[in-house]
Amino acid sequence: MKELKIKAKNIVKKNLWKSIVVCFIASAIFTLGYKYNTEKKVIHYENNITTNFNLKNNLDIVENTFNKIFEINGIQKIVNYKPTRGVLSVFFNQITGAGSIIIGILNVNNEYLFHNSIPSLLIMILGLGMSVLFYIFVVNIVVVGKNRYFLEHHSYDEVSYDKLLFIYRIKKTKHVAYIMFKKNVYSILWYFTIIGGFIKRYEYSMIPYILAENPELDSKTCFELSKKMTNGYKLKMFWLDLSLLGWYLLGGITLGLSNIFYFNPYKECIYAEIYMDLRKKLNSEYFKDKYLDVSGLEYPNDKYFIPESKKRKWLKINYKVDYSVINLILLFFTFSFIGWIWEVSLHLFNDGVFVNRGTMFGPILPIYGWGGILIIILLKKFRDNPFQLFISSFVLCGIVEYFTAWYLEVTKAMKWWDYSGYFLNLNGRICLEGLLVFALAGCAATYFVAPFLNNIYNKFKREPKLILAIIFIILYGIDMRYSSLHPNTGDGISKPISETYIIEKGGIYEEK
Whether 86 shows a pLDDT value over 50: the answer reads no
315 vs 73, which has greater pLDDT?
Answer: 315
Backbone angles phi, psi at 505, to 5 degrees: -130, 110
CA distances from 320 to 161, 191, 226, 453 (A): 12, 46, 38, 14
pLDDT (0 to 100) of residue 377: 95
Interval 358-374: pLDDT, tens: 999 999 999 999 999 99
The answer to whether 370 touches 492, Cβ cutoff 8 Å, is no
What's the chain's Rg over C-alpha atoms? 24
Percent of the chain with pLDDT over 70: 75
Least confident interval from 42-51, 141-150, 473-482, 484-493:
42-51
- Confidence grade of residue 291 (pLDDT, cut at 50, 70, 90): confident
Percent of the chain with pLDDT over 90: 46
Helix/strand/coil for 502: strand
Helix/strand/coil for 130: helix
Q: Is the dihedral of CA 309, 146, 16, 21 positive or negative?
A: positive
Whether 127 shows a pLDDT value over 70: the answer reads yes
Residue spans of the domains in the chain: they are 2-315, 325-511
pLDDT (0 to 100) of residue 364: 93
Return the exposure string of 451-481: e unless at least 16 CB atoms fall within 10 Å of the residue's CB, then b.
bbbbbebeeeeeeebeebbeebeeebeebee
Largest Cα–Cα separation, the chain: 72
pLDDT (0 to 100) of residue 92: 40
Least confident interval from 243-252, 338-347, 449-458:
338-347
pLDDT (0 to 100) of residue 347: 76
Residue in 141, 387, 359, 94 with CA at minimum distance from that of residue 251: 94
- Confidence grade of residue 477 (pLDDT, cut at 50, 70, 90): very high
pLDDT (0 to 100) of residue 301: 52
- Confidence grade of residue 56 (pLDDT, cut at 50, 70, 90): very low
27 vs 308, which has greater pLDDT?
Answer: 27
Count of alpha carbons within 13 angstroms of residue 274, beta-carbon side: 27
Interval 372-381: pLDDT, tens: 999 999 999 9
Most confident residue range from 83-97, 110-124, 164-178, 248-262: 164-178
What string of DSSP letters covers 101-121?
HHHHHHHHHHHHTSTT-S-HH
Most confident residue range from 55-59, 146-150, 313-317, 425-429: 146-150
- Confidence grade of residue 273 (pLDDT, cut at 50, 70, 90): very high
Whether 312 shows a pLDDT value over 80: the answer reads no
Residue 138 gets which letter from DSSP? I
Three-class HEC string of 397-439: HHHHHHHHHHHHHHHHCEECCCCCCCCCEECCCEEHHHHHHHH
Residue 142 gets which letter from DSSP? H
Query: What is the spatial distance between Cα 385 and Cα 408, in angstroms, rounded to a whole number?
Result: 34
pLDDT (0 to 100) of residue 204: 96
pLDDT (0 to 100) of residue 507: 46
509 vs 455, which has greater pLDDT?
Answer: 455
Dihedral of the alpha carbons of 171, 143, 271, 275, in degrees to the nearest 10 = -20
- Confidence grade of residue 31 (pLDDT, cut at 50, 70, 90): low
Helix/strand/coil for 86: coil
Query: What is the spatial distance between Cα 467 and Cα 136, in angstroms, rounded to a whole number?
Result: 37
CA distances from 258 to 74, 88, 252, 423, 478 (A): 19, 13, 9, 16, 45
Least confident interval from 162-171, 334-343, 383-392:
162-171
Residue in 313, 305, 363, 359 with CA at minimum distance from that of residue 338: 363
Backbone angles phi, psi at 477, to 5 degrees: -65, -45
Around Cβ 488, how many Cβ atoms within 10 Å? 18
pLDDT (0 to 100) of residue 499: 52
Whether 104 shows a pLDDT value over 90: the answer reads no
pLDDT (0 to 100) of residue 91: 41
Pairing of strands 508-511, 502-505: antiparallel
Backbone angles phi, psi at 511, to 5 degrees: -90, 135
Query: Cα 461 vs. chain centroid, distance in angstroms?
Result: 32
Around Cβ 83, how many Cβ atoms within 10 Å? 24
Whether 509 shows a pLDDT value over 50: the answer reads no
**Average pLDDT over all residues of the chain:** 79
77 vs 147, which has greater pLDDT?
Answer: 147
pLDDT (0 to 100) of residue 24: 86
Residues 6 or more apart whose CB falls under 8 angstroms from that of 244 comprise 263, 267, 270
The answer to whether 438 touches 16, Cβ cutoff 8 Å, is no
Count of alpha carbons within 13 angstroms of residue 71, beta-carbon side: 10
The answer to whether 358 touches 365, Cβ cutoff 8 Å, is yes
CA angle 362, 365, 369 (to 5 degrees): 125
Helix/strand/coil for 286: coil
pLDDT (0 to 100) of residue 300: 57
Interval 407-427: pLDDT, tens: 999 999 899 998 887 778 898
328 vs 93, which has greater pLDDT?
Answer: 328
Burial of 449 (0-12, 13-18, 19+ CB in 10 A): buried
pLDDT (0 to 100) of residue 72: 38
CA distances from 329 to 366, 400, 415, 476 (A): 12, 19, 28, 11
Residue in 153, 161, 157 with CA at minimum distance from that of residue 448: 161
* Helical H segments across 314-458, by residue range: 325-351, 366-378, 386-412, 432-444, 450-457
